[in-house]
């Protein structure tokens, strides 16, 4: 499998933007919970890197990439500093920030899927690992902060579902011989667009069938 | 070590039944917590597969078996669909479901121990990994759902203790040269029987020595 | 890298003392939460061994050392028994126990860093893994017990910060060719001293910049 999607400098820049947005969401959660500076840095790093570390440990690619390149650790630390100093300003742009978070989600889900395919994993479990890469860090953030995980809340706008559809599309297309770079870029753009539209239009995932309806 | 306990088709069917029961318990917890459909699928997969994934990552057998065979991922998804549609009916049979959960616990603890022995781990830590395989998924379910873990609640009927005794028995017997298939089947049956008896008769693990008694 | 810091018998004894203190903190938390005996053993093992297991899994050194030597599993079990039987007495010496916990933190952070360097990891991520080794178990204890993690509470005395400074010092000094044994011993002593002083004098980490101050 051609990994050009991951190796391109442009993709790396997008990835670091996604990491920064994820890290800010972790740091802002820590500040809202009145954690100390250790908690702010911890939640920033965990939210931004947790999903990718989990993916790499599961596929046996150790040490995870987050421990092999200094920028992966440095960007969340920078986000923690920004949040600790400028959190009232960050709060004001939180809604715009969701756009960056959507970019991170889209890229993490797609690249996570391609990394898993590269490790010889079949399309469906590779897509599961892609979704884990995209939503794992946020899940860890919410567990440590003792919040109902955003990814399972009925009042959250669509999050894991566009990521799952994008990851499955990439997995089957790349497995069938399509160019990972092309299909990956298209899928990431689609995931991003659906997530942003879901936020703007208030699209939610359904819950269990209501008993009253039954 | 002869792995025939694991390779037999009968054992695999029992294992999938245990996975289904574990997954239903996760899905029902998600429904009780009013999680959306993502949360129902997530808790079903995590409860059913979390213990085995943890075991495989710890012994270095990556990617975990749950990502190598499609049925391991598909069965919890099916359980999530059943629960989302038919949860009032599932609730009615929840007590009977504990019997399947007991089968899952028994088989996971025994096969987890044998897998760890196979990986060259000594009997006692292999038994610890077996117990982790049996109780790990339920612990993750309860952490994500923000519940007091069932495995540590004083009002839970005996759960980890029969699993631990069964796992230790299998570990030492197989290490001493006994047939893993024979001793594994016997131990799994015993764990199952003790767990079911504990539910029916209300057997609980003790807590710390009460100060008033001291 | 010379691993004499780890191989020395004296260091191993200190490490087991740290494990015992960490395990007691986990067991006492379980007792305070009225968990049953399974919960007491589980939290003792998780608190004492969780950080090291996480480090070993992340660097790909599987099975983790905690599953290769019986004393690592046995010492927390012993601590759980002591706590379950003698918890009123343990409660009376809890403040002194923090001194042992400080020793565990100092040694885990330093040896965790050296183990990571040994695995070929760069100094900064190696120090991050060292801090994870020191604080990871306590974080897992607090997540399972549904408490605000001690490591992020603003009312906790300095905990992760001295560990981080010590880990970074060891990482860069050992990477630059200094004797790991010498620099490790000095850094561990410094981490221990700062942590004990922080407890005695009430030193806390700052939080985010207060909006009122801004």
CA A155, chain centre distance (Å): 19
DSSP A145: T
Task: Please compute, for residue B22, the number of CA atoms within 13 A of its CA located in the half-sphere on the CB side.
Answer: 36
What percent of chain B clears pLDDT 90, i.e. is strictly above it?
Answer: 79
Rounded to whole angstroms, what are the CA distances from C192 to A38, C100, C101?
18, 9, 9
CA A44, chain centre distance (Å): 13
Of the candidates A58, A143, A153, which has its C-beta nearest B36's C-beta?
A: A153
- Structure confidence at residue C1 (pLDDT): 45
* Residues of B (40-69) whose Cβ lies below 8 Å from A: 40, 42-43, 45, 53, 57, 60, 62-64, 66-68
- Residue C125: pLDDT band with limits 50, 70, 90: very high
The whole-number average pLDDT for the span A95-114 is: 89
Q: Chain B residue closest to C29 (CA)?
A: B208
Does residue C84 sit at the B interface (CB-CB below 8 Å)? yes
Q: Chain A residue closest to C131 (CA)?
A: A42
Question: Alpha-carbon distance C98 to C85, whole Å?
Answer: 20
pLDDT higher than threshold 80 for residue A9 = no
Of the candidates C59, C128, C152, which has its C-beta nearest A39's C-beta?
A: C152
- Structure confidence at residue C214 (pLDDT): 41
Of the candidates C60, C143, C156, which has its C-beta nearest A63's C-beta?
A: C60
CA distance C143 to chain A (A): 6
* Sequence-ordered alpha helix ranges (H) in A60-179: 70-92, 94-118, 123-144, 160-175
- Residues B150-208 pLDDT 10s: 999 999 999 999 999 999 999 999 999 999 989 999 999 999 999 999 999 999 999 99
- Structure confidence at residue A95 (pLDDT): 76
Going by C-beta distance under 8 Å and a sequence separation of 6 or more, which residues neighbour residue C44? C23, C24, C26, C27, C30, C76, C77, C79, C80, C83
The whole-number average pLDDT for the span C1-12 is: 60
Angle, helix C94-118 to helix C160-175, in steps of 10 degrees: 30
DSSP A6: H
pLDDT higher than threshold 60 for residue C5 = no
Place of tokens 């565990």: C104
Pairwise CB contact (< 8 Å): C204 & A144: no
Contact A113, A150 (CB under 8 A): no
CA distance A60 to chain C (A): 7
Contact C27, B137 (CB under 8 A): no
Helix (H, G, I), strand (E, B) or coil at C36: coil
Contact C113, C170 (CB under 8 A): yes
Contact A211, A133 (CB under 8 A): no
Residues C194, C200, C202, C203: what is their CA dihedral angle, to the nearest 10 degrees?
-10
Rounded to whole angstroms, what are the CA distances from B191 to B128, B169, B213?
15, 11, 31
Q: Give contacts of C161 with chain A, Cβ < 8 Å.
A: 38
Q: Give contacts of A75 with chain C, Cβ < 8 Å.
A: none
- Structure confidence at residue A4 (pLDDT): 52
Q: Give contacts of C214 with chain A, Cβ < 8 Å.
A: 88
- Structure confidence at residue A128 (pLDDT): 97
Contact A205, B37 (CB under 8 A): yes
- Residues B10-28 pLDDT 10s: 778 888 988 999 999 999 9
Going by C-beta distance under 8 Å and a sequence separation of 6 or more, which residues neighbour residue A90? A24, A28, A82, A83, A97
Does residue B13 sit at the A interface (CB-CB below 8 Å)? no
Place of tokens 């802002």: A28
The whole-number average pLDDT for the span B107-117 is: 94
pTM: 0.93
- Residues C144-179 pLDDT 10s: 999 999 999 999 999 999 999 999 999 999 999 999
- Residue A177: pLDDT band with limits 50, 70, 90: very high
């Amino acid at each position: 499998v051609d990994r050009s999607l991951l190796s391109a400098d442009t993709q790396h820049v997008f990835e670091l933007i996604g990491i920064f947005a994820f890290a800010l969401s972790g740091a802002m959660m820590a500040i809202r919970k009145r954690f100390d500076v250790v908690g702010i840095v911890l939640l920033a790093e965990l939210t931004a890197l947790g999903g990718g570390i989990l993916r790499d440990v599961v596929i046996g690619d150790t040490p995870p990439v987050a421990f092999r390149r200094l920028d992966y650790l440095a960007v969340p630390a920078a986000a923690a500093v920004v949040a600790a100093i400028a959190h009232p300003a960050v709060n004001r742009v939180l809604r715009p920030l969701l756009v960056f978070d959507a970019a991170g989600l889209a890229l993490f889900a797609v690249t996570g899927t391609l990394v898993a395919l590269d490790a010889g994993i079949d399309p469906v479990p590779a897509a599961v690992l892609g979704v884990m890469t995209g939503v794992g860090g946020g899940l860890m953030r919410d567990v440590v902060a003792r919040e109902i995980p955003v990814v399972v809340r009925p009042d959250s706008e669509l999050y894991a579902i566009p990521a799952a559809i994008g990851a499955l599309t990439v997995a089957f297309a790349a497995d069938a011989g399509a160019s990972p770079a092309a299909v990956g870029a298209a899928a990431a753009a689609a995931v991003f667009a659906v997530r942003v539209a879901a936020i703007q239009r208030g699209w939610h995932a359904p819950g269990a069938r209501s008993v009253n309806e039954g």
